[in-house]
Structure 1
């Protein structure tokens, strides 16, 4: 694959009078940071022309459908560091962006290397995925420490740094010695229902609560604990159902546990689903992760008026009050929170009025760009 997709006209972007902000993403699929990218390109910036550079794939296709400018190339872990660096260097040379804005560690490291000796282009990095517990993403402490040193080194080249939550900022400063100029810009979400009232008794689904898990099927998401809590829910609401959406290496283990617990008739494994549609078809979302930064899943659930149960980790307490948080091992509390939000005994959560919408988030990013001029 060439460094620049022949279907993209670099010239059309270059003729725009606005300075260019090149967003660099090292993955092609629609997981993780893709939601953030799509929100930004769907809404657009007032002062900057956005251009996406990523490998060819679903993310590039979706941004094109939104009318966004996309350059695809040999970039990301599948192509190796050297090829990725050559591809990014070529795009920067052709496009001459004012801003290079990286997302995810691979892009952060490649861009820091490519722009190490070039200060004419401003480098911005957003952190979406740091975890407080090193064991979540690293097999041993030595590897985790080496990774922290590498991040500390690449931060020295960045002209601006963004953390997506206050907890993210704290971890970046604790682990990577990130500077105080690190700015928190929360993930923006547009509210569908600010009041999010609990349903009246007559409106409650006759079949019982429809519970949704929407995440990667991996140990750190702790779906096992949700399954173990479900018999307690069924003891009060025999018509309750659980949809486990997502894919991952733990699926067969989770399916076996479902069978062992006798839950085959009430638990379904749905694979990949449209998140917005799934939320409209359920009553309560449960996310018992070992760590989250600023979870779009939680934000969407609250904004959509769902009941929500989550763990008090990372940025979750910045989104939810303590009354909706629980230890993942406390199956009784998990069940109680689900049941009470379904029946209306407990009001469902709402976002703070100060939580940014998507346009608010973009204005904060643009303001940060402006301050680099």
Structure 2
């Protein structure tokens, strides 16, 4: 090998892997937070990332990434099956010389897979969660096994999500890898947490339970309010903190009035960086009908905030019942209230769960662990685009 050839080989070896994240939009949600973690975390790992939104708008997380210098693009998907969208994605893949197209959720996978067929870009598909209730789509029985066969890397964010892909999407189990979501741990700041309580009119000595979530039917927050009503009757210093916004806000506000707990319930609306609100809580609540890997649950764990969650989806893979938190049935407000009461009245158990949740987070759910797993997936499925 000549010196020139050696230099060329070295230069090629150092060429960054180029990844296009294909998603609906970069609004507010767990999928969008995962994409943000991947893009920002991989910036120092010789991975160049761009984002392409197919629903015609970018959203606040995307706009924030744009301001930090990350290229975020958008296309407007038409109703029905949009053949023009396939061509537009394909054009973007070729012009951007992308090695990998990372498709987040099923519809982006379908469009990304078709767009990538005649290009050298390799496809990675991540299923971030399932609709509630889940259902069979018999067209999937014919299409998905073919797509799966020609998709080098298929990722589920929990074993429960993997099981759903096998059962409802007819994807062979051996094709699916589980990569748990991961985050950078939050830092507790007691001074800022007390400021949050003051601003919300919550006494410093109050016992605060709460959640950070979309106010959405799938999150089952009606049950949370009813359970809190039961708990508050036994605990006069109790407050409920609801951080988030969504289609159920008006209904939940009205329900709090109906239950007579509106004076001890705080609806904050959307908070861009809710870590201080989390720190102001004593217990984190997650009452969902279904979950993949809840990012806010991971944030709570990283702070050592004991969690009470419903026994659905990926929650039992995150919360070890009785060891790192507590799990209850989905539709049982009585058991949810009883779990809150048990945790509030047993200081030793509270401290034990707090310490164990931090250890479990560090063991399984760090940003570094998730990024490392995805980079291996990219390198295994990706082929450097030198054309």
TM-score, normalised to structure 2, is: 0.79
Distance 2:369 2:25 in 1: 26
Paired residue for 2:368? 359
CA contact (8 A) 2:298 2:365 kept: no
Deviations 1:224-265 (CA, angstroms, capped at 9, x unpaired): 111111232222221211122222332232222211211121
Aligned with 1:92: secondary structure?
helix
Distance 2:28 2:86 in 1: 23
Paired residue for 2:117? 116
Deviations 1:269-303 (CA, angstroms, capped at 9, x unpaired): 22212332321221111111111011111111111
1:125 positional shift: 0.6
Match of 1:217 among 215, 218, 227: 215
CA contact (8 A) 2:30 2:295 kept: no
User: 1 or 2, which has the higher helix percentage?
Assistant: 2
1:193 positional shift: 7.8
Q: CA RMSD in A?
A: 2.7
CA contact (8 A) 1:209 1:241 kept: yes
Given the superposition, is the C-alpha separation of residues 75 and 32 from structure 1 closer, same or farther in structure 2, using an over 3 Å criterion?
A: farther
Distance 2:186 2:60 in 1: 27
1:131 positional shift: 4.6
Distance 1:24 1:330 in 2: 38
Unaligned runs of 5+ in 2: 1-11, 189-202
Given the superposition, is the C-alpha separation of residues 207 and 80 from structure 1 closer, same or farther in structure 2, using an over 3 Å criterion?
A: farther
Distance 1:218 1:149 in 2: 32
Larger displacement relative to structure 2 (354-363 or 56-65) = 56-65
CA contact (8 A) 2:311 2:330 kept: no
Aligned with 1:242: secondary structure?
strand
Larger displacement relative to structure 2 (88-97 or 70-79) = 70-79
Given the superposition, is the C-alpha separation of residues 253 and 72 from structure 1 closer, same or farther in structure 2, using an over 3 Å criterion?
A: same
Paired residue for 1:10? none
1:66 positional shift: 3.5
Paired residue for 2:29? 31
1:123 positional shift: 0.7
CA contact (8 A) 1:132 1:171 kept: no
Given the superposition, is the C-alpha separation of residues 151 and 217 from structure 1 closer, same or farther in structure 2, using an over 3 Å criterion?
A: farther
Q: Quick check: 1:317 aligned with 2:319? A: no
Paired residue for 1:267? 265
1:341 positional shift: 3.1
Unaligned runs of 5+ in 1: 1-13, 136-140, 195-204
1:216 positional shift: 2.1
Distance 1:333 1:264 in 2: 22
Given the superposition, is the C-alpha separation of residues 363 and 272 from structure 1 closer, same or farther in structure 2, using an over 3 Å criterion?
A: same
Q: Quick check: 1:160 aligned with 2:153? A: yes
Deviations 1:176-218 (CA, angstroms, capped at 9, x unpaired): 2223031111111344589xxxxxxxxxx75432121222222
Distance 1:215 1:56 in 2: 20
Given the superposition, is the C-alpha separation of residues 96 and 356 from structure 1 closer, same or farther in structure 2, using an over 3 Å criterion?
A: same
CA contact (8 A) 2:231 2:337 kept: yes
Given the superposition, is the C-alpha separation of residues 56 and 334 from structure 1 closer, same or farther in structure 2, using an over 3 Å criterion?
A: closer
Paired residue for 1:98? 99
Distance 2:132 2:162 in 1: 11
Paired residue for 1:138? none
Q: Quick check: 1:346 aligned with 2:349? A: yes
Given the superposition, is the C-alpha separation of residues 356 and 287 from structure 1 closer, same or farther in structure 2, using an over 3 Å criterion?
A: closer
Q: Quick check: 1:329 aligned with 2:328? A: no
Paired residue for 2:49? 50
